[in-house]
Structure 1
Amino acid sequence: MDLFDTLHEQMTTVNLPLYAVTVTAVARVNTPLVAILHWHGFRRATPLALPGVDIPRRPVPGSAVQFAQPWHSFEAVDAALLDAAWQLGAWEVERVERRACSVIGASAGEALACRQAFGDYGDGAPGDQHLIDGAPDRAKLMQLAAHNGYLRWLFRPVKGGLWRALAEPDDTLDADGGRRLPCPVPPKPRRADTAGRTVYRLGAIRRILLP
């Protein structure tokens, strides 16, 4: 599974800096993955130009991409995410594991987090205002996650991203803000309690920073 090529193709096509990339999977092997690319940029609400009227700009909607390649372990998804984040210069990768939210005792906050992980922000706005949907099974996968739980990965790219100018010093980066394979950080097994947060640290500072 090579997530990097697809993400790089999207970045080249949209040609805007990325704020973050999230990837969500139902807690069931060999189901499609949903990646959402969160862009940093603004556009006018309409191409119409009216004399004396300042038409406000709106945030560029994110891009949802569905990955249907077969996978048979969560460690394989971890490895693919780590490789992509490593090449894009991310400081770290966060993996969050969440239980089903359609069970008795689950809170409204858990249900909201599940929807947002699949790009459903529940604000009543038309989908094209906040998301360009290239994931045809997104709604079905969200319902499946509500009954089975899900995992969500997040990283913030430096190469091709907003963080190129804002990131902390990182001595592992090349001149363009990326890194060359192989990624030296191995995947970690899922948590036994199927809930929690795991952070993979990719960046490093190997020098003394003077005030």
Structure 2
Amino acid sequence: MNMLATILEQISGMRLPLYAVTVTVPRWPDTPALLMLHWHGFRKARHYAQPHAPLHEQSIPGSALQFNTRWTRFDDIEASVLDAAWQLGAWDIERRDRRGCNTIGASEQEALECRQAFGDNPFMPGDEDHLVSEAPDRGDMMALAARKGYVRWQFRPVRDGVWRSVAEDDTLAADGSREPPCPLSPRELTEPECAPVVYRFGRIERLILP
């Protein structure tokens, strides 16, 4: 599973800076993984519920892609995500391991976060313009995650990203990238965690004056 190559291919095609990258997979072995790329940019468009309204600025839709690579351990996916985040210059990467929102006692917030993790837009039903999806099993993945739980990784790239102009990180090359290999290893999943796990990549070794 080569997340980095796919992300770079999408960047080359879109020619837009990235704001964030998320990878989500149901908490069940050998299921598809969903890669979502959140772009920074705007376009002229009309509101989906008002087709005759004047044009207005609208965010560029995100991109959702499905990986069907076979896997048996979450380490296999996490290693690929860590490598992509490292080489794309992210300061850190956050992993959220969540239980199924169909669990007795689960809150509405958990259900909302599960939908958002798989690119669903509950605040604008019927609006498909927020996401360009090449993930035919996205609905089935979300339904499985609601029963079994899911794991989501998120990072903000510096290379080819909107953060390049403000990044303060002494580990980065001039273009915002880092050379492989990634020095951090995947951490084992146990029970779903309440707090996120954070892998820190960035480092500042100089004094920054105001």
TM-score (norm 1): 0.92
The 1-side partners of 2:15 and 2:58 are apart by 17
C-alpha displacement at 1:71, in angstroms? 1.5
Secondary structure in 2 matching 1:85: helix
Secondary structure in 1 matching 2:103: coil
One-letter amino acid of the structure 2 residue matched with residue 69 of structure 1: T
Structure 2 unaligned blocks of 5 or more: 47-52
Q: Aligned runs of 1:40-79 on 2, under 5 Å?
A: 40-45=40-45, 55-79=55-79
Structure 1 unaligned blocks of 5 or more: 47-52
In the alignment, what sits opposite 1:49?
none
C-alpha displacement at 1:179, in angstroms? 0.8
1:88-121 superposed Cα distances (whole Å, 9 cap, x missing partner): 1000010000001112111111111000000002
C-alpha displacement at 1:127, in angstroms? 4.5
Q: Is 1:121 paired with 2:111?
A: no
The 1-side partners of 2:125 and 2:14 are apart by 22
Q: Is 1:25 paired with 2:29?
A: no
Q: Which runs of 4+ in 1 moved over 4 A?
A: none
Secondary structure in 2 matching 1:115: helix
One-letter amino acid of the structure 1 residue matched with residue 147 of structure 2: H
Contact 1:61 1:128 in 2 (8 A): no
The 2-side partners of 1:161 and 1:32 are apart by 26
Secondary structure in 1 matching 2:23: strand
1:7-38 superposed Cα distances (whole Å, 9 cap, x missing partner): 11011111111110011010012110001100
The 2-side partners of 1:127 and 1:24 are apart by 22
In the alignment, what sits opposite 2:174?
175
Figure out how many residues of one structure are paired with residues of the other and give that number.
203
C-alpha displacement at 1:188, in angstroms? 1.0
One-letter amino acid of the structure 1 residue matched with residue 193 of structure 2: A
Q: Aligned runs of 1:62-101 on 2, under 5 Å?
A: 62-101=62-101
Secondary structure in 2 matching 1:206: coil
The 1-side partners of 2:76 and 2:127 are apart by 31
Deviates more, 1:148-157 or 1:118-127: 118-127
The 1-side partners of 2:120 and 2:114 are apart by 9
Secondary structure in 2 matching 1:187: coil
